[in-house]
Amino acid sequence: MPSNHKIQRYVAPVEETPVAAVDAVKFDGKASSVWGDAWKDMRSRWLTWACLALIALIAVVALFPQLFTSQLPTGAACDIANFRQAPGNGHVLGTDAQGCDVYSRLIYGTRASVTVGLVATILATLVGCVIGAIAGFYGGWLDAVVSRLGDIFFAIPTVLGAIVVMQVMPWERNALTLAIVLAVFGWPQIARIMRGAVLSAKNADYVTASIALGVSRAKILVKHVVPNSLAPVIVIATVSLGVFIVSEASLSFLGLGLPLSTASWGADISAGRATLRTDPALIFWPSLALALTVLAFMTLGDIVRDALDPKARARR
Amino acid sequence: MIAYIGRRLLQLIPVFFGATLLIYFLVFAMPGDPIKALFGDKPVPESTLEAIRAQYNLDKPFIVQYLLWIKGIFVGDFGLTYSGRPVADELARAFPITARLAVIALVFEGVVGIAIGLYAGLRKGKLFDSVALFISLLFISVPIFVIGFLVQYFAGVQWGWIKTTVSGQATWSELLVPGMVLAATSLANIVRLTRGSVAENMGADFVRTAKAKGLRRGRVVRVHILRNSLIPVVTYLGADLGSLMVGAVITEGIFNIKGVGGTVFQAVQRGEGPTVVSFVAVMVIVFMLANLLVDLLYAVLDPRIRYAK
């Protein structure tokens, strides 16, 4: 360092000063991502594991009901002669007014509720994502047309629309048709959220960089914009799964959901109303199963939302 | 503000026609014989079918049918129910009852929900907060008809606090408990929303400034925290009106209330398709208008909304 003239400003020699923050970055480590950070936050909470365990159990029951009960819930397995029996005598939770085994109807009812919820969620999410992404990314007249179309479907509350359609539908009422009807009125909510997320993602620097590199519009949308817009959609999809399951139960309660020959929690709750005074257990078990399932999905949605939001993470 | 209201009204017009056209299309353009489908599995004589076809103008082109139906709605002609009474008369009788029920539900969920949410949010992490969160989660996950059955059974049958069904007059006091049942799920959502919003605003700069200015705690909470926390709650109320309508169908069905929802419920049980469709169409129209009202309220609460677009 020269000492023979006055130092006006001190400039630290670059090679001698370690830049702690830069040196601390490990280049060989895994890059951190939104989902990686979120999962790191989620796995430290016991509530996550409680929800995942419950959802795993529900999935296994829905897929393999015969593992949990040897009796069938409907048809020949029901003997009207032993209607409304107390628990015991081969029936763990007793029998209902039709003489069907309450426990096996509970187990087989899982499949109906979960199928409707899952199929409706997948359909609504797929349609909502595609339409929302196209509307948000391409803008212009396409956005205007698609958004107004969404407004029209949005103006009809899902279950009200389903009441009308199920009332007049000429096809057989089963889990698939019910799920389609629910998805028809459920997609605009997801499309709106996807459109908003895409709108904010398409102005990001990495999109500008891709445009500068000459990547095609469609490829930018699929490779960069959509993956970065999915987070809020995943949250709302998890919550809607619970909402669709409740919708199925409400429609079955009204007598517009699944036919009585299908074991379904909503129909069982509805049937249990008649015997509420004498046999409250008939209404209690399907309600409990329904509430636990909805609770698991809604809580998981809350957890994912919190984990994806750094502000919420800091608040805890 | 007036320009904003005008713009919103203009936006409502295509949605109104689109949504009613959609409902009409879903009912009358389904494959198969739509009129037969309206009867479900019941056998119907051919002459009745012909009469109903003529009544619904089904011999004319689809778009003409729709326009005639819409014209009927505008002049208050909704067609006839199965018992031969005009649907419009049924509506005039049923609507005030459901309006009373909705007022009770909205006041209950608004006042109680915001109060509990505010109290819980100000004491985040304390016992009251945890209990409120847990109970609200229970109310969200248990379907409204289960809550309705339980209330009807315990409060009505076991303890005899209320009558299990509501009389034809459906007075305010009779509708109090059904209104609270109707509000249960929304109440829980409002508690959670207000609580989260209050907890977030507690750490906001404007709250710190308000405290630093030496304002009393009551004023900080009321004017600074609460008003800013209400914006997401008002947004929620708009979307929630739809679930309140579905809830009204179920709640009025359970408590045998002869309102709009109860009429839909009974029409569904009896398979009276035309009544269901007319009533649901009217509910959708009310839902659209109510949503417009909520949007305007939103613009009053948060001036940024008005000038954004």
Q: Supply the ipTM of this predicted assembly.
A: 0.79
Range of the domain at A206: 53-71+91-314
The tally of domains found in chain A comes to 1
Q: Which candidate from B37, B143, B153 shows the least CB-CB separation from A276? A: B153
CA A265 to chain centre: 19
Contact in structure between A128 and A189 (CB atoms under 8 Å): yes
CA A41 to chain centre: 19
A13 domain residue, yes or no = no
Q: Which candidate from A155, A169, A269 shows the least CB-CB separation from B145? A: A269
A151 to chain B, any CB pair closer than 8 A? The answer is: yes
pLDDT for A315 beyond 60: no
The secondary structure of residue B80, as a DSSP letter, is: B
Surface-to-core class of residue B234, CB atoms within 10 Å of its CB (0-12 exposed, 13-18 middle, 19+ buried): middle
Residue numbers in A near B18 (CB within 8 A): 148-149, 151-152, 155
Q: How many CB atoms lie under 10 A from the CB of residue B231?
A: 15
Cβ of A148 and B14 within 8 Å?
A: yes
- The fold of the B91-301 domain, in CATH, is MetI-like fold (1.10.3720)
> What is the rounded CA–CA span in Å between residue A101 and residue A104?
6
Q: Which of A17-31, A298-312, B133-147, B175-189 has the lowest mean pLDDT?
A: A17-31
B94 to chain A, any CB pair closer than 8 A? The answer is: no
pLDDT level of residue B116 (50, 70, 90 thresholds): very high
Comparing B173 with A20, the larger pLDDT belongs to: B173
B245 to chain A, any CB pair closer than 8 A? The answer is: yes
pTM score, whole prediction: 0.81
Residue A148: what pLDDT? Answer: 85
Residue numbers in B near A250 (CB within 8 A): 143-145, 246, 250
A65 domain residue, yes or no = yes
- Say which CATH number the domain at A110 has: 1.10.3720.10
Q: Which candidate from B30, B143, B271 shows the least CB-CB separation from A249? A: B143
State mean pLDDT over B227-251: 82
pLDDT for A119 beyond 90: yes
Q: Which of A120-124, A205-209, B7-11, B195-199 has the lowest mean pLDDT?
A: B7-11
Angle, vertex CA A143, rays to CA A142 and CA A146, nearest 5: 80
Residue B57: what pLDDT? Answer: 63
pLDDT for B36 beyond 70: no
A193 to chain B, any CB pair closer than 8 A? The answer is: no
Contact in structure between A146 and A131 (CB atoms under 8 Å): yes
A40 domain residue, yes or no = no
> What is the rounded CA–CA span in Å between residue A284 and residue B149?
11
List, for residues B48-84, the tens digit of each pLDDT value.
777 777 766 666 777 777 787 778 777 777 666 656 6
- CA-based end-to-end distance of chain A: 51
Comparing B128 with A69, the larger pLDDT belongs to: B128
CATH 1.10.3720.10 domain locations along chain B: 91-301
State mean pLDDT over A99-104: 75
Contact in structure between B105 and B179 (CB atoms under 8 Å): yes
B9 to chain A, any CB pair closer than 8 A? The answer is: no
pLDDT level of residue A312 (50, 70, 90 thresholds): low
pLDDT for A210 beyond 80: yes
Residue A127: what pLDDT? Answer: 94
B19 to chain A, any CB pair closer than 8 A? The answer is: yes
State mean pLDDT over A150-170: 82
A136 domain residue, yes or no = yes
Query: What residues 44-73 of chain B have any CB closer than 8 A to a CB of chain A?
Result: none
> What is the rounded CA–CA span in Å between residue A165 and residue B277?
9
**Cross-strand pairs, A91:** A88
User: Kind and range of the H or E element at B113?
Assistant: helix B87-122
